[in-house]
Structure 1
Amino acid sequence: MMRIWKMIARFMITAVIFILLAGCRNEDITVYNLSDTHNVNVAVKYPDYSSGFPEKVTLEIPVYERAFEGWNVTDNYYTRWIQKEFGDTYNIEVRYIPISRVNEVKNYEQLLASGKAPDLIVHYDMPQALAYYGEGVMQELDWEEAEFYAPTYWNKMSGTIKQYGRINGENIFFFADRPGYGNYVNIIRKDWVEKVGMKVENLISLEKFNEMLVKWKEAEIGFAGSALTRNVFTYSAPFRDWPINPKEHALYADLSVADFTTSASEAWLRNLSYQYHNGLIDKEFYLRDDENKAKAEFVAGKAGTFGMYLTSNTDVFEATLMNNPEAEFAVLPPTSAVPEGKVPLGRADWPFGFIMGINNATSSEERAALWMYLEWISQPDHLFLLQNGIEGQNYSLDADGLPHKDPNYKGESQLSQNNNKDYWALVTETPLFRTPELTLKANMINWSPAGYEYIVKDMLKYQKEVMAYGITDPLFSVVLTKVNEYKTDLSHLFQELYLDIILAPEEQFEAKYEAAIIKYLEAGYQEILDEKQQAINAGQYKIY
């Protein structure tokens, strides 16, 4: 009897489903196992484009405009491969929109204002992503639609998306994965350190670092690399107190607005003033307003330190040796930036990479194409090729199946200098392999220029040592309208004020700084602090 009732129930479910499907156009459905009623409902709701769009869809994807000379970020071996294998398959024209990494926000704002922004709006930092949202340029999303068109991507990231992607009760953001690996490193001329009778491993404080810089100057060797501070404001972290006060941290820590009025900022300014007036840093540091300009000083043998994202195909070591054959390199200990009595407090990454939203002007077909694009890149074979290139050309495989890149390969499929990351970072910040051990081994291969494996080992060693002092920026759950209103003007004002303080005679420091604080607060920073305090009092923030 029970079996008969089960057969009747199954027949009734099937009949209802066929009635529902009868009212839909054939091209708007995908047929799933009829016992899976959730999938059937989803299939009825969303058109099936697995055989391609009936009319060509144009999908516009942002890509950072950076790489080696002659590299075209919008037209190269990999963009053409994506068009052929993905775009042509689904009747999608994939267009890449170049975005300056240094002037990213300015580029986006101009594109948004002119109605020419790409379908995908991306940023690495939540305050700016919230700023875009606050401008009303992003559309609310349907998570079931994302799951339907991008099941691989969704299965990987749905937990993160559901936890962090809702703003003011709306589904707005989705994310790239961020495994717990980082490759930013500060390197130092080891031969310079030893030439003045010191050791790199003994640079355990800012005071020791400055002592070494004095000896560099006296020996007429060179100075510490330095650059203009702007746009991203983490400079004061080593000067902050530990343990942190969560509410104070939420009030002042902000990537997009400098905490110019805090005692930590004052301590940073005093040290920078001391270094500048004593010739310990580049006298024209304010002209080094991008990574390449700072790199040029290091490569030329003028600066003895340089910070960068390390990759196996970087040319910084080779280029430096061409100008300075005696050069030796080491990792600068992170404690070298920390005053005695402080800890190496640093900014910890949020548990996601790229923060992404979809342009309000993007159509439903273009949105579906975007989900399909993320799904296609998420496939292991596609991701592997984008990250490594062509076997036998860009790399060879070892016994573990890990790729070893050929640093001398200059053919058509040559990778960009960050290993094509600007194309695959939409789904992950770091390549992943079968096990954590293999991933670590692969990353060491991926980050290590030939002969400099020790740099990666020391980088990872120091990362482990300071991990306990990594704190995320506050993640507010409301749009901070005053931050959006004033951050651009305050960023420009910060540059003006801090350079005025540093370049002025040392005896004017106190007067200059006190006057600058008043000007900064009156220019909108006080309103930002008041707005943040209100959100903090309401518990509308988190620190991870």
Structure 2
Amino acid sequence: MKKMNFFIIVTALFMFGSLLAACSSDTSSNDHEDETPTANETDNNDMSEDGVMFQETVTLDIPVYDRAFEGWNVTDNFYTRWIQEEFGETYNVDVNFVPIARANEVTDYQQLLAAGNAPDIIIHYDMPQALAYYGAGVMQPLDLDEVAEYAPTYWENVSETIEQYGVVDGENIFFFAERPDISNFVTVIRKDWVEEVGMKVEDLTSLEKVNEMAMKWKEAGLGTLGGGLTANIYNYNYAFRDWPIDPEYRALYSDLMVADFTTEDTERWLRNLSYQYHNGLIDQEFYLRMDGNQIKTEFVAGRTGTYGEYISSNTDLFEATLQNNPEAEFAVIPPHAPEGRVPQGRADWPFGLIMGINEAATDEERIAVWLYLEWMSQPDNLFFLQNGVEGENYILDDEGFPVVNNDFNGESALAMNNNKDYWALVTEAPYFGTDELTRKAMKNFWSPPGHEEIVDDLFKYQDETKEYSTPDALFTVVIESQNEYQSDLNALFQELYLKVVLGSEDKFDEEYEAAKRQYLNAGYQEILDEKQAAIDAGNYNYSE
């Protein structure tokens, strides 16, 4: 942190009187309030390396996603201990990491909130759920001047985003991580299977071609397309939608948290899924695959030929698959859509994690959050969390970019996806100043050894479909009926969509019409009505 930033922080801290102590090399005692020096008595407004910020130790509860990586303790590892040493001991903060199951995060948060044990930061990637937390009264309003005061670097990076998207019902509620315009999600296909049935990966540019290929896989006894239960995140029908986009239609029916089940777009998706299932083109037990690891197991075992994941240099996907199928070859499946349509996709909002301060957090804990974000926003600290120890986790190439040592498995080995769940509080992806430099660096960061072409194709296809990737609308008011009916509708959606897809093909129309009526009557119509009222009042944000 720069000395100028320390001046801003230290000067402001004295306004809290006995709340915060001066910077002292004596960390064994915090009870000498009368010995607090003035700002001019501190070391040129800087802090000694072993000094403390808070007079009494503050416990800061930080959420971290637990993705069930084998052998990784999300709350106690080399990097959590480093954070405690470098940040916690400097500011007299006890940093406590609270695990949140990525596959079950809403339930985890609800249970922690009900028990009074939720972390000081409430996080989610999707605005509808973040608004649901706000609507439940578990977030406190923010003083943006306070954020700027204690976290000037962080504030400079995201202030425009916070001011544009963080307001709900006229109050400042949310703060955000940065989101560079880059993504590492990729869908991998068994290239050797495609070529074995006389086709080429680059020709799979329509849904009809993909289904034709899958039929040939079936006839050749190779395997099926991968699949899993659609639940919790509902972006399944974008490629089945009309183009160009009608902004009001997008606002009404696009919602990651409550499934759009009644539009023609969803009907097209269901018909295709029914066709794939009844013709043996998709994993016949897809509805039993509840999470990414279960879907991945089928791909690794050689029973399915497609799988999507966030790619990184230390992914075990290719190595594990090759152990079972030494002849396997891999490629990225091209973006595709039904003939006559475009490969639409849901673009990310212009921010990463959406965050709010727990209503139960004290003033000291809230300030500790801003200090933590400021500390993590410093380039050296962020770089260390993202890359690890030079000479162990990585080396620098001639241009100063980190090159990962994928064979390293010592104490400082990074978690899968390069420790992202720790540094995602300030940015969704590393950034190196320009898009060109960032892509160059991220190729090293994301490319699995021996499969560098995967990231090349990832970038290629992202460029080709960029105009068709657009963000959802954001409502600036709480949709109360969504909070009321979300849980019941999510459960009902799983029941109804599987009934339609797995049921007899000749009864598809009958089953779907009955399912739509049931879904609307279960609360979805109330959600649509409330959304339409908000749209008519202009209480939504949409920008392509």
Match of 1:422 in 2: 421
Number of the residue aligned with 1:485: 484
C-alpha deviation, 1:28, in angstroms: 7.8
SS at 1:334 equivalent: coil
Q: Deviations over 1:229-264 (max 9, x none)?
A: 000000010101111121111111110111100001
Q: 1:106 aligns to what? A: 107
2:271 alignment counterpart: 270
Whether 1:147 aligns to 2:171 is no
User: Can you list the C-alpha shifts for 1:446-494, whole angstroms capped at 9, x where unaligned?
Assistant: 1101111111011111011111011211101110001111111101100
CA distance in 1, matches of 2:504, 2:280: 13
1:488 counterpart letter in structure 2 = S
Counterpart for residue 375 of structure 2: 376
On the 8 A contact 1:471/1:543 being kept in 2, the answer is: no
Which residue does 2:32 correspond to in 1? none
The 2-side partners of 1:349 and 1:404 are apart by 27
Aligned twin of 1:400: 399
Paired with 1:450 and 1:230, the residues of 2 have a C-alpha distance of 33
**Amino acid across the alignment from 1:356:** M
Gaps of 5+ in 2: 1-10, 23-36
Q: How far apart in 2 are the matches of 1:513 and 1:200?
A: 34
Deviations 1:393-447 (A, max 9, x none): 1111111111111111111111011100000000001111244332111111111
**Secondary structure of 1:256's match?**
coil
Q: More deviation in 256-265 or 427-436? A: 427-436
Change (3 A) 1:142 1:509: same
Cα offsets for 1:40-73 (capped at 9, x unmatched): 9xxxxxxxx9832111110001000015311000
Q: Kindly state the Cα deviation for residue 542 of structure 1 after the two structures are TM-superposed.
A: 1.7
1:184 and 2:148 are equivalent in the alignment = no
- Cα distance change of structure 1 residues 94 and 478 upon mapping to structure 2, 3 Å threshold: same
In the TM superposition, residue 383 of structure 1 has moved relative to its aligned partner by 0.4
Note closer, same or farther for the CA distance 1:22–1:411 as it changes in structure 2 (3 Å cut): closer
| Residue equivalent to 2:5 | none
Contact 1:59 1:94 in 2 (8 A): yes
Secondary structure of the residue aligned to 2:186 is: strand
Which structure 2 residues correspond to residues 458-537 of structure 1 after superposition, within 5 A? 458-537=457-536
Q: CA 1:22/1:177 → structure 2, altered by over 3 Å: closer, same or farther? A: closer
Name the aligned partner's letter for residue 460 of structure 1.
F
Q: Do the aligned residues in 2 keep the contact of 1:67 with 1:417 (CA within 8 Å)?
A: no
Distance in 2 between residues matched to 1:219 and 1:543, nearest whole Å: 47
In structure 2, the partner of 1:541 is 540
Partner of 1:134: 135
Q: 1:56 to 1:26 in 2, by over 3 A?
A: closer
Structure 1 position 508, deviation (Å): 1.7
Structural RMSD (CA): 1.9
Which residue of 1 is the match for residue 29 of structure 2? none
Q: Return the letter of the residue paired with 1:179.
A: P
| In 2, Cα distance between equivalents of 1:400 and 1:291 | 36
Structural mapping, 1:240-319, within 5 Å: 240-319=241-320
Question: Which residue identity is paired with 1:479?
Answer: V
Residue aligned with 1:462, SS: helix
Letter in 1 for 2:468: Y
For residues 447 and 455 of structure 2, the distance between their equivalents in structure 1, rounded to whole angstroms, comes to: 6
More moved, 101-110 vs 183-192? 101-110
| 8 A Cα contact 1:67 1:416, kept in partner | no
Matched-pair contact (CA < 8 Å) for 1:53–1:90:
yes
Please tell me whether the aligned partners of residues 67 and 418 of structure 1 are also in contact (alpha carbons under 8 angstroms): no
Q: Quick one: distance in 2 between partners of 1:214 and 1:57? A: 61
Q: Which has the larger radius of gyration?
A: 1
Which SS does the other structure have where 1:103 is aligned?
helix
8 Å Cα contact 2:18-2:55 kept in structure 1: no
State the alpha-carbon separation in 2 of the partners of residues 154 and 250 from structure 1: 29
| CA 1:26–1:218: 2 relative to 1, 3 Å | closer
Alignment partner, residue 216 of structure 1: 217
Any conservation in 1 of the 2:52–2:89 contact (CA below 8 Å)? no
Q: Compared with structure 1, are the counterparts of its residues 23 and 166 closer, same or farther at alpha carbon in structure 2 (3 Å cutoff)? A: closer
What one-letter code is carried by the residue in structure 2 that aligns with 1:475?
A: L
Cα distance in structure 1, aligned partners of 2:240 and 2:541: 22
Shift in Å, 1:147? 1.1
By how many angstroms is 1:215 displaced?
A: 0.4
User: SS of the residue aligned with 2:102?
Assistant: coil
The answer to whether the 8 A contact 2:21-2:54 is kept is no
Aligned to 2:27: none
Deviations 1:497-523 (A, max 9, x none): 111111112112111111100110010
Match of 1:437 in 2: 436
For 1:31 and 1:314, the matched residues in 2 are separated by 52
Corresponding residue SS for 2:103: coil
- The separation in 1 between residues aligned to 2:322 and 2:222, in whole angstroms, is 16
Once superposed, which parts of structure 1, at least 4 consecutive aligned residues long, lie more than 4 Å away? 21-33
| Cα separation, 1, equivalents of 2:500 and 2:454 | 36
Corresponding residue number in structure 1 for 2:6 = none
Taking the aligned partners of 1:438 and 1:238, their CA distance within structure 2 comes to: 31
| Cα deviation code 1:124-149 (max 9, x no counterpart) | 11111111111110001111111111
Q: Separation in 2 of the partners of 1:50 and 1:175?
A: 29
Q: CA deviation at 1:91?
A: 1.2
Counterpart Cα distance in 1 of 2:249 and 2:459:
30
Shift of 1:204: 1.1
Deviation at 1:23, TM superposition (A): 11
Q: Kindly state the Cα deviation for residue 205 of structure 1 after the two structures are TM-superposed.
A: 0.4
**Which residue is 1:324 aligned to?**
325
- The 1:434–1:97 alpha-carbon spacing in structure 2 relative to 1, beyond 3 Å, is same
Question: What per-residue deviation string (whole Å, max 9, x for no partner) do you get for residues 279-311 of structure 1?
Answer: 001110011111111101000011000000010
1:508 partner SS: helix
Separation in structure 1 between the aligned mates of residue 490 and residue 51 of structure 2, nearest angstrom: 46
Matched AA of 1:349: D
Q: Distance in 1 between matches of 2:174 and 2:235?
A: 24
- Which residue of structure 1 lines up, in the alignment, with residue 26 of structure 2? none
Aligned length: 509
TM-score by length of 2: 0.91
Report the Cα distance in structure 2 between the residues aligned to 1:365 and 1:23, rounded to whole angstroms: 10
Q: Distance in 2 between matches of 1:357 and 1:518?
A: 37
2:170 paired with 1:173: no
After superposition, give the CA deviation of every residue in 1:321-376 in whole Å (9 maximum; x if it has no partner). 111111000000111xx100111111011110001000000000001111111011
